[in-house]
Amino acid sequence: MKQQVRNVTTMEKKSRSEMEDVQNHKDHREIPIDHVGITNIKWPIKVMDRQNFSQHTVAEFTMSVDLPKEFKGTHMSRFVTILSDFSNDITAEKLPGIIREMQKRLDATEAHLKVDFPYFIEKKAPISGVKSLMKYDCGFLITANGEDLDYILEVDVPVTSLCPCSKAVSDYGAHNQRGHIIIKVRPQKEDKDNFIHIWLEELFTLAESSSSAPIYPLLKRKDERFVTMQAYDNPVFVEDMVRNAAVKLREDPRISWYEVSAFNDESIHDHKAFAVTTWTRE
């Protein structure tokens, strides 16, 4: 069976001007819409990288705008047009420019842009010094409301957490597990569209030093010995992980707001333990 493809000339006979722009119709339901847009769209991007200037990765985008009650629909294809116009060279530095384009081309007051991506750093094992690449899931969330711009960085840092209770009540050993510390921060503003730069790498280190021990892709036996004992020496609950991170984040004057979560994939249970704390600098 052959896929039929109509003669393109015939297909084009309905000229663009004759084709109805349904989205532009007036709407009478009196319901404004907070977000209308697209999600789960993947696109290659470049991210600034403390070690190597920049790295290539693949991001998932969510892009939306508000829609006043008078309009029937948004022109969804314009979101992708904007990505295409910036491609193949989307970098984190261009995200404010992208969101300004979203406001302009979609004729919107508010615009929201979420970009989630895996990010790699070269990590040295603590004793042997062997190097490997470690992946962290990261995100940027940018919101524009008229002239205002808001910006949040997000990192998801896998760590080892060792249970203080299990250590305290047992003659030997202590249950430990993979945990995740998720940090969202809002940097202070430098000026209208610019925020003080915070390296993703700084947040990775901050999270790891709030846990029982960092995680590495590659460890030799002497490294495994080191992290095993490091974890045993630094027991933490999820409560401790969010508090340890929170204390450090408050001390950093570049940060005006944070939300810190910690999740433990409990090794003695089939559920997760979690904790969340948020704070705004006054």
Q: What is the DSSP letter of 179?
A: E
Tell which one of 50, 104, 197, 225 touches its own copies (CB under 8 A).
Answer: 225
* CB 191 to its own copies: min, Å: 31
Least Å from the CB of residue 30 to its own copies: 8
Which residue is it, tokens 């029937």? 72
Shortest distance in whole angstroms from residue 105 CB to its own copies: 13
At closest approach, how far in Å is the CB of 110 from its own copies? 12
Site pattern 179..208 for its own copies (x: CB under 8 A): ------------------------------
For CA atoms 51, 52, 53, 55, give the dihedral sign: negative
Whether residue 162 contacts residue 236, with contact meaning beta carbons closer than 8 Å, is answered with yes
Q: Could you say whether residue 94 binds its own copies (CB under 8 A)?
A: no
Tokens of 62: 């969510």
Q: Output 30 or 191, the one with its CB closest to its own copies.
A: 30
For residue 108, state whether it binds its own copies (rule: CB under 8 A).
no
Please identify which residue in 48, 55, 116, 254 interacts with its own copies, judged by CB under 8 A.
Answer: 55
Pick the binder of its own copies from 143, 145, 166, 188 (CB under 8 A). 166
Cα dihedral sign for 31, 35, 41, 44? positive
Count of residues in contact with its own copies, rule CB under 8 A: 125
DSSP letters spanning 107-154: T-SEEEEEEEEEEEEEEE-TTT--EEEEEEEEEEEEEEETTEEEEEEE
* Among positions 160, 181, 203, 207, the unique one binding its own copies when judged by CB under 8 A: 160
Task: Please tell me the distance from the alpha carbon of residue 64 to that of residue 90, in angstroms, as a whole number.
Answer: 18
Question: Is residue 272 within the footprint of its own copies (CB under 8 A)?
Answer: yes
State which of residues 97, 105, 127, 256 lies at the interface with its own copies (CB under 8 A): 127
48 binds its own copies (CB under 8 A): no
Q: What CA–CA distance (Å, rounded) separates 139 from 117?
A: 6
Binding segment (CB under 8 A) for its own copies, from list 100-108, 130-138, 139-147, 193-201:
130-138
Sequence-distant (≥ 6) Cβ neighbours of residue 214 within 8 angstroms: 159, 160, 208, 227
Q: Which of residues 74-93 bind its own copies (CB under 8 A)?
A: 74, 76-77, 80-81, 83-84, 87-88
- Residue 110 within binding range of its own copies, rule CB under 8 A: no
Angle, in degrees to the nearest 10, between helices 77-86 and 95-105? 140
Q: Which of 147, 191, 270, 282 binds its own copies (CB under 8 A)?
A: 270
Closest approach, Cβ 219 to its own copies, in A, equals 6
141 lies in the site for its own copies, by CB under 8 A = no
Q: Coil, helix or strand for 178?
A: strand
d(CA 231, CA 167): 11
